[in-house]
Amino acid sequence: MHFSHEHRQLFDTTKKFIETEVNPHVAEWERAGFWPAHEVLKKMGGLGLLGINKPESVGGLGLDYSYQVAFAEALGACACGALPMAIGVQTDMATPALARFGSDYLKDNYLKPAVAGDMVAAIAVSEAGAGSDVAGIKTTARRVGDEYVISGSKMWITNGTQADWACMLVNTGEGDRHGNKSLIVVPLDAKGIDRRQKLDKLGQRASDTAMIFLDEVKLPARHLIGAEGKGFTYQMQQFQEERLFLSASIVGSMEKVIDDTAAYTRQRRAFGQAILDNQYVQFRLAELKTEVEALRALTYRATDELVAGRDAALLCSMAKLKSGRLAREVTDGCLQFWGGQGYMWESSVAQFYRDLRLHSIGGGADEVMLGIISKRLGYGGKKKVG
Amino acid sequence: MKALVSVKRVVDYNVRIQVKPDGSGVVTDGVKFSVNPFDEIAMEEAVRLREKGKVTEIVAVTIGGAKCEETLRTALAFGADRAVHVKEEGEVQPLTAAQALAAVFKKEGAQLFLLGKQAIDDDANQTGQMVAALLDLPQATFASKIELDGAKALVTREVDAGLETLEVDLPAVVTTDLRLNEPRYLKLPDIMKAKKKPIEVVSLGDLGVTAAAGLKATKTAAPPKRSKGVMVKTVDELVTALKGKGLI
């Protein structure tokens, strides 16, 4: 993946936006457990940042995914991990399937406003009893005449308390776990939806996360994305963007943690010298920087595959696995060098220690990535994993 | 009314500048470059004047090597309608730059020349002034407010005593200061549109300018390191210390 002048400009605009419009509010949003998604996304929509790779017919730019990766990487300038994730939900988790398979009606009424920043979107796949085991979800949509009637619940839904609609995976039939599911656009103000419960999380506290209950929610059948029974397949495809986005978005966060650690240890003295004067600290930070650079190379390679239209699942899964694991190594290793200061809730390294921990769990846990990678490499395992 | 805005490619303000070991200049390899921030302000002002209906066409101009095309693309993304690239790979000294810019201004028949009060690389702060002199035009430097009123421009500038407002007849040269405006975020659609806008490439020779070599940089050195300070407890102690150093 080559960074052209336009990639660079997009990166600069995004970074400037994050530093000016987001970072000054992060501490306040962290305390509130809430970010003003409508306000922030509306501004981003105005800059064309929410439809980078979406078709021009819905107000997007129609650019290839490498631009989206440049955007994701620039989000790493954020002072916390919650916002890049919450923004990514709008651009890369809730909307790719809709853009690919949605009807004109759905695109006009839900995708277009999401690209403009007029509507906030959520992705609703996980349930209390089924996270990484996507096929194990229990929420069902029964077809009754021209309507779907949905019942069940969804768990850990980012932006869930304020989103206008969710791209929801539901069971629309019996039988084969992978052939009985569908994606449906669910307006979250529909009758029968209760999403009052805001979840209390270890990290990523600036974004609101909800549990959503659906009790006989009736929706017109035209809210179905693409074909009935194709939901699992669409979701697996949609996961590629999600996973690549997640990898790219924390490359910058990790670099920030390492740079902040170098700056802190340069001025913090112990035993008559700066902490950074210890070769052990220098070598550790140098090694972590090298690892992050290697992850970036892997992410770019996965991007190239995706842009070329080839099956990128193997590389996207590898990037996702590596980014989650490396984030844990970087934040834990750096926090150690901060000593007691690093253990303080408000220190930047503690912020990322909490926030980036999610990356080995959300968007498909490390173990699920390992399952996909093993299977793709032919190491065995007939079980279908997502 | 046509406005000409010059934009210069400079080392990004975030870069920690390093002097080359042989003292022949600063390290520019592998370093991030961007548009001179004062020129960005000039560009932003031109766009605002167009939005107010005071300016109808914006032409961006730069002088320098092939890489400077990126600088022009950024200006085009801001909203310039087209651009002129005075291509010169070698060193361009201030007088040469002023001569070239004056020639472009004349050729374009523009009414307003907007540019940053200085570029953050050499901080020479003389291009605008020299262009005005070469063209025998009024100049208003360090603008913190610009109003166009028919054939005149009212330019407010920050001076030691407060604010000074100059009235200059157009055509004129106006250089922009930091507090004139805050440049907008570049929108992605505009970044992509800029790729398709026309850039005219000319040489110094085409403009009838010969590269001058009146200045010679003999040595570049980093500023001396700040020496360690001392803490004083009282004002008396401070005064004594300053007196001791012969500073007061």
Q: Does A10 touch chain B if contact means CB atoms closer than 8 Å?
A: yes
Q: Say which CATH number the domain at A150 has.
A: 2.40.110.10
What ipTM was reported for this prediction?
Answer: 0.87
CB-CB under 8 Å, A5 with B192: no
Q: Are residues A113 and A129 in the same domain?
A: no
A338 and A369 in a single domain? The answer is yes
* A235 domain-assigned: no
Chain B hits for A10, Cβ within 8 Å: 188, 191
Cβ contact B84:B104 at 8 Å:
yes
C-alpha R_g of chain B: 21
B12-16 contacts at long range (C-beta below 8 A, 24 or more positions apart): B13/B37, B13/B120
* Start-to-end Cα distance in chain A: 26
Q: Smallest CA–CA separation between A125 and chain B, in Å?
A: 31
Task: Say if the Cβ atoms of B191 and A16 lie within 8 Å.
Answer: no
Q: Tell me the C-alpha distance between B139 and B131, whole Å.
A: 9
Give percent of chain B with pLDDT exceeding 70: 100
pLDDT at B79: 95
Please give the residue of chain B at the shortest CA–CA distance from A10. B188
Report the number of distinct structural domains present in chain A. Answer: 3
Which residue in the set A6, A17, A46 is minimally distant from B191, CB to CB? Answer: A6
Quick one: A204 and A285 in the same domain? Answer: no
CA distance, residue A149 to nearest chain B CA (Å):
40
How far apart are the C-alpha atoms of A309 and B154, rounded to whole Å? 57
Q: Are residues A92 and A141 in the same domain?
A: no
A192 in the same domain as A149: yes
- Taking a C-beta distance cutoff of 8 angstroms, is the pair A214, A188 a contact? no
Collect contacts of B81-85 with beta carbons under 8 A, ≥24 apart.
B81/B57, B81/B197, B82/B197, B82/B198, B82/B199, B82/B200, B83/B59, B83/B197, B83/B198, B83/B199, B83/B200, B84/B59, B84/B60, B84/B108, B84/B199, B84/B200, B84/B201, B84/B202, B85/B61, B85/B199, B85/B200, B85/B201, B85/B202
Q: With respect to residue A298, please indicate whether it lies within any of the assigned structural domains.
A: yes
The chain-wide mean pLDDT, for chain B, equals: 94
Verify that A254 and A365 share a domain, yes or no.
yes
The Cα of A115 is separated from the nearest Cα of chain B by a number of Å equal to: 13
Residues of A with Cβ-Cβ distance to B186 under 8 angstroms? 9, 12-13, 47
Contact B185 A47 (CB under 8 A): yes
Which among A12, A17, A61 is the nearest to B192, CB-wise? A61
Q: Within a domain: residue A244?
A: no
Q: Which residue type does B197 have?
A: K
CATH of the domain at A89: 1.10.540.10
Q: Tell me, what's the pLDDT at A318?
A: 97
pLDDT, position A314: 96
CA–CA distance, A24 with A40 (Å, rounded to integer): 13
| A257 and A358 housed in the same domain | yes
| pLDDT on residue A382 | 60
Q: What residues in B contact A15, CB-CB < 8 Å? A: none
Where does a domain end: A166, A199, A229? A229
Point out the residue among A5, A16, A61 whose CB comes nearest to the CB of B188.
A61
On chain B, the residues whose CB falls within 8 A of the CB of A46 are 187
Question: Which of A4, A5, A19, A259 to probe by mutation at the B interface, max B CB count within 10 Å?
Answer: A5
Burial of A272 per CB tally in 10 Å (0-12, 13-18, 19+): exposed
**B224 has pLDDT over 90:** no
pLDDT at B225: 84
State whether B70 and A5 contact (CB < 8 Å).
yes
- Does A16 contact B195 at a Cβ distance shorter than 8 Å? no
In a domain, A49, yes or no: yes
Last residue of a domain, one of A69, A103, A120: A120
Are residue A208 and residue A109 in the same domain, yes or no? Answer: no
Query: Is A242 designated active site?
Result: yes
What residue of B is the nearest CA neighbor of A45? B187
- Taking the Cβ of residue A28 and every Cβ of chain B, the question of whether any pair is shorter than 8 Å is answered with no
Residues of chain B in Cβ contact (below 8 Å) with chain A: 34, 70, 73-74, 77, 185-189, 191-192, 195
Q: Identify the closest residue of chain A to B69 by CA–CA distance.
A: A5
* Beta-carbon separation of B188 and A17 below 8 A: no
Mutation choice for A interface testing from B188, B193, B196, B197 by most A CBs within 10 A: B188
Searching chain A, which residue's CA lies closest to the CA of residue B185?
A13
Q: Which of A51-55, A68-72, B69-73, B221-225 has the lowest mean pLDDT?
A: B221-225
Q: What is the CATH number of the domain that holds A292?
A: 1.20.140.10
**Is residue A309 situated within a structural domain?**
yes
Q: Which of A73, A127, A241, A242 is catalytic?
A: A242
CA distance A349 to A221: 47
- A116 and A132 inside one domain: no
Distance from CA of B192 to the nearest CA of A (A): 7
Verify whether the Cβ–Cβ distance B186 to A13 is below 8 Å: yes
**What is the domain extent for residue A80?**
5-120
- For residue A61, list chain B residues with Cβ-Cβ distance below 8 A: 188-189, 192
What Å distances lie between residue B62 and A75, B196, B206, CA to CA?
A: 31, 18, 15
- From first to last of its 386 residues, chain A has per-residue pLDDT tens of 889 999 999 999 999 999 999 999 999 999 999 999 999 999 999 999 999 999 999 999 999 999 999 999 999 999 999 999 999 999 999 999 999 999 999 999 999 999 999 999 999 999 998 887 889 999 999 999 999 999 999 999 999 999 999 999 999 998 899 999 999 999 999 999 999 778 899 999 999 999 999 999 999 999 999 999 999 999 998 888 899 999 999 999 999 999 999 999 999 999 999 999 999 999 999 999 999 999 999 999 999 999 999 999 999 999 999 999 999 999 999 999 999 999 999 999 999 999 999 999 998 999 999 999 999 999 975 655 55
Helix (H) or strand (E) holding B35: strand B33-35
Is A6 in Cβ contact with B195 (below 8 Å)? Answer: yes
Residue A370 lies in a domain: yes
Whether A261 and A372 share a structural domain: yes
Asked if A41 and A115 sit in the same domain, the reply is yes
A269 touches chain B (CB under 8 A): no
- Up-side HSE of residue A87: CA atoms within 13 Å toward CB? 31
With contact defined as beta carbons under 8 Å apart, do A131 and A365 qualify? yes
**A274 occurs within a structural domain:** yes
Tell me the shortest Cα–Cα distance from A51 to chain B, in angstroms: 10
* Residue A238 located in a structural domain: no
Yes or no, beta carbons of A13 and B74 under 8 Å apart = no
Asked if residue B196 has pLDDT above 60, the reply is: yes
A225 shares its domain with A267: no
SS3 at position B174: strand
Tokens 């080359």 label which residue?
A: B20
